[in-house]
Amino acid sequence: MNLQLLLYSSKDSVKFSKTLANILSTVTLEETNLNSVEKLKKWKVDFHQLVTTIYRLTKNTRIQAKVATEIYEQLQYITERGWQQEDADMFTETIEKVRQLAVFGYGIAKAQEDEARETTTKALKLPHSLKHLETSQKGDKKYAFTSEFY
């Protein structure tokens, strides 16, 4: 991994944070409906399941970071060397990696939301028949269940 990627100056960190904030403002994050939070706080947690879930999330994040690092290094190589005709294949490959990374990221996020919704359903001891209720959106938030749920 390119060490330069990890050594941000504070100016770079601020710039990255602003860029990330702009990206996140266009993404709707799912969360637990507010009226079920108190019930969830009372649920006893299986810590093995929790730790396993965290490790799985970490693995997915590392996969995304590894591919992002590869993309960065390929583009950095082309930039430092200057564009040459033989770079066309590498550039096409890099574009495909970006596409695959985006698909992977969105797919993983959807799977994680589904898992969180399923765990919420289990923790609240809701009937299996409620799983068909789709998410509802209010403003910039998307809740795990529709308002008909309550």
Tokens of residue 148, six digits: 């008909």
Residue predicted with more confidence, 40 or 57: 57
- Residue 7, pLDDT > 50, answer no
* Residues 6+ positions from 7 with CB-CB distance below 8 Å: none
> What mean pLDDT do residues 135-144 have?
60
DSSP state string for 84-138: -TTHHHHHHHHHHHHHHHHHHHHHHHHHHHHHHHHHHHHHTT--GGGGGPPPEEE
What is the average pLDDT value for the chain, to the nearest integer? 76
What does the pLDDT look like over 90-104, one tens digit per residue? 999 999 999 999 888
- The residue extents of the domains of the chain are 44-149
- Asked whether the CA dihedral 13, 96, 73, 58 is positive or negative, the reply is positive
